[in-house]
Amino acid sequence: MGAPVTPACLLLLLHLTAGTSAEPHYVVVSPAVLYHPHTGTVSVHLSDLNETIRVSVRLERRGGLSTITLLEREVQEPRLHENVRFQVPAPSGGQQEVAELHVSIRGDALQFSERKKVLLWALQPRTFVQTDKAIYKPGQTVKFRIVSLDKDFVPSTRKLPLVTVQDPSGNLIAQWRDVTPQQGIVDLSLLLSAEPAVGTYATEAQGTRHSFSVGPVLPKFEVTLELPPVVTVLDETLLLRVCGRDTYGKPVQGRVQASLCREEQSADHWYHLHGVLTGDLCTELTGQTESNGCFSREVVTAPFNLTHSGYRMSLQAKAFLVEEGTGGSEIKHTCMPPGSPQH
CATH of the domain at 238: 2.60.40.1940
Whether 1 is in a domain gets the answer no
pLDDT of residue 87: 86
Q: How many domains does the chain have?
A: 3
Q: Is residue 63 a part of any domain in this protein?
A: yes
Mean pLDDT of the chain: 80
Q: Are residues 107 and 52 in the same domain?
A: yes
Among the candidates 186, 214, 242, a domain finishes at: 214
State whether 137 and 104 are in the same domain.
Answer: no
Four-residue CA torsion sign, 13, 16, 17, 23: negative
Over residues 216-267, the pLDDT tens digits come to 765 677 888 898 888 888 888 999 999 988 877 889 888 999 988 887 654 4
- Are 47 and 112 part of one and the same domain? yes
Whole-structure pTM value: 0.44
266-295: per-residue pLDDT in tens? 444 434 444 333 445 788 999 999 999 999
The predicted model gives 316-329 an average pLDDT of 77
**The domain boundary residue, chosen from 145, 180, 214:** 214
**133 within a domain of the structure (yes/no):** yes
With respect to residue 4, please indicate whether it lies within any of the assigned structural domains: no
- Reference 316, options 246, 271, 264, 255; nearest CA is 264
d(CA 172, CA 130): 19
Q: How far are the Cα atoms of 4, 8, 105, 127, 129 from residue 153, in angstroms, in the given order?
A: 12, 18, 38, 11, 15
Strand 208-214 and strand 135-136: pairing? parallel
Say whether 123 sits in a helix, a strand or coil.
coil
Structural domain span for residue 243: 221-335
Q: Is residue 163 part of a domain?
A: yes
Residues 6+ apart with CB under 8 A from 71: 42, 44, 55, 56, 57, 82, 84
If asked whether residues 111 and 93 sit together in one domain, one would say: yes
Shared domain for 130 and 118, answered yes or no, is no
**Once rounded to an integer, what is the mean pLDDT over residues 184-210?**
93
In a domain, 304, yes or no: yes
Same domain membership, residue 177 and residue 208: yes
Residues 135 and 109 in one domain: no
For residue range 152-174, list pLDDT tens digits in order: 788 888 899 999 999 999 999 99
Tell whether 3 is covered by a domain: no
Residues 28 and 86 in one domain: yes
Note whether 148 and 233 are same-domain residues.
no
The verdict on 243 and 261 lying in the same domain is yes
Domain closes at, from 162, 193, 214 = 214
96 in a structural domain: yes
Look at residue 339 in the predicted model and tell me its pLDDT: 43
117 and 138: one domain?
no
180 and 242 inside one domain: no
Helices and strands of the chain, counted as H and E runs:
0, 24
CATH number at residue 137: 2.60.40.1930
List the 68-75 sheet strands across, edge first.
33-36, 111-122, 96-106, 53-61, 68-75
